[in-house]
Structure formats: structure tokens, C-alpha cells
Amino acid sequence: MSEDRKRPPEGAAPQRVVKRGVVAVARREGRFLAIRRGRTVAAGGRVCFPGGHIEPGEEEHAAVVRECREELAAAVTAGVCVWRSVTSWGTALAWWTVALDEAAELVPHPVEVEEILWLTEAELFAEPTLLEGNREFLAAVREGRVRL
């Protein structure tokens, strides 16, 4: 990954990292696993990839496995970190591929996840409630800056 992609635009205030998080990138038959966030959590009702914060002392690969278990009751295997970004509110995100058992039945967390979705790249781009950082990730995939 290029260091330039992590820098703020020319003239913008630098982003200060205040916490760390992980994002799970799972694909099945050309579709990405996404969720609609629960209405009572931050960014409620918005569509995004599963993920969340990294606990103190926790490694990224362990955090992405834990977050998938918590949000989706899914047992996943962490793959590789394919991208890094920093949100406008200062969360440094590590985007990890994850392998999900084909037979796995996903169960949404009753508070954190309103809906589980399997969407194509085009469907995600067309989703008006998609979180902006997720749109930036998908653009990087489209442009070949991220290889999955």
C-alpha cells in the first residue's frame, strides 16, 4: 500500500489517530458480505462491511475474528490485511480478508446488526447509505490499488 493514500489531502488538517479498528472483507460468488448497522449504534441504519474496535493488547487478526463472531455469530479465518485507512473521526482501520465456511449460517447481533447482506461491488456503490470509508475501499478495489 502506498503511504500517500493515508495522508490527508493537500492543505487538509492531518488526521489524529485516537483508536484502532478492523474491517472484515468476505466474498462469496462475486458478492461482498455487508451489514446494515443496528438503529441504536453509531451510524445506525448505514450499510458497511462488518468490523469494529481492537481491544487493548489484541492483534488485528484476532480482532477481526472476534468481531465477526460477535456481530454475525460467524467463525472465520483471518486472511491478510489488504488496506489501511483512517476515518475522519480518527479511527485507524485495518481491512482484512476473512474466509467464511460456505455452510455457515450467519446470525445478526440483535443490537449491532439490523440486516446481513451479500452485495456485488456495483450494488454496494449504488447503496445510498454506504459508509464513505467503505466507498473509498471499493474504489481502491476497482482501481486495482487493493487486490483481493
Domain limits, the chain: 16-100+108-142
The correct CATH number of 16-100+108-142 out of 3.90.79.10, 3.90.78.10, 3.40.50.2300, 1.10.10.350 is 3.90.79.10
Question: Which pLDDT band, with edges at 50, 70 and 90, does 7 fall under?
Answer: very low
Q: Average the pLDDT over 65-71 and give the result.
A: 97
pLDDT for res 89: 84
- What number is the average pLDDT over the span 41-52? 95
**Span 65-81, mean pLDDT?**
97
The pLDDT of residue 13 is above 60: no
Per-residue model confidence (pLDDT) at position 15: 62
Tell me the average pLDDT of the chain: 90
Name, in order, each residue with C-beta under 8 angstroms of 66's C-beta and a sequence gap of 6 or more.
55, 58
pLDDT-derived band at 56 (thresholds 50, 70, 90) equals very high
- pLDDT of 80 above 50: yes
| 88-140 pLDDT per residue, tens | 889 999 999 999 988 889 999 999 999 999 999 999 999 999 999 999 999 99
Burial 14-45 (b: 16+ CB within 10 A, else e): ebeeeebbbbbbbbeeeebbbbbbbeeeeeee
